[in-house]
Structure 1
Amino acid sequence: MQEGGGVSCAVAGEAPTPTPASRCAGAGLLGLTINPPGGEPPAERIGRLVRESPVVIFARRGCCMCHVMRRLLAAVGAHATVIELDEAAEEAAASAAAAATVPALFVGGLPVGGLDGLMGLHLSGHLVPRLREVGALCG
């Protein structure tokens, strides 16, 4: 287990299917490899992960912008599933999820962008309502 910014992260090979209770439990930190056992193509796997989790961040290991994104989301009461990409998976994520840069944030399956997109949503007052809409906020 790894603790960071009030967000509990567990390294795992697969994202759990979120339920209303698990959405409130905390974030997950997943390492994504390009050729997982089971043979699911990377583009399909990435698309499935984005659809199954209300808030997803694709990032590189040790990315400071990802850390800031996680902290901001945790401050408003949402916890993101953070998927750390290796180089090959990063290319697949960029093409499959229409993300030009990493870190890339998805809320409710829709791309928000990077840190600038998250900050824009937050400063405009649209972040919390959008997180509520997708069931990412508890309480």
Structure 2
Amino acid sequence: MSQYRFRSSSFNEDARGRWYFNVVVDMEVEPSKGQDRIGIDLGLTDIATCSDGTKLEAGRFYRGLEEKLAIAQRARNKTQVKTIHAKIANRKKDALHKFSRTLVNRCGEIYVGNVSSLKLVKTTMAKSVLDAG
């Protein structure tokens, strides 16, 4: 007998036109053994700074691809622009997932500061706010 129980599935197309088959399954998972407590402060120069000094830096997701993106945009190469934006989104998702997963594995209680990003979008730091995710 399988250790997973099938729940549902769906098809999904990404921005580059690639198709994926997604499956949702039930499985037994042991809760994390983390006993630490940690506070997270959301910011602009660093996406997140933890109370123990751990940081997730902003901007590292796309800095290496900015020049390629600018060239592709000036050349009006829509396919390449979509590909570069997809790479940036994937890098950001991967880094955020790894950061959050390490916190969840280590900590039993996580506290997040209250930041109103809607007000910050209207300032001169809008690019940093929107990039922070």
TM-score by length of 2: 0.21
Larger-Rg structure: 2
TM-score by length of 1: 0.20
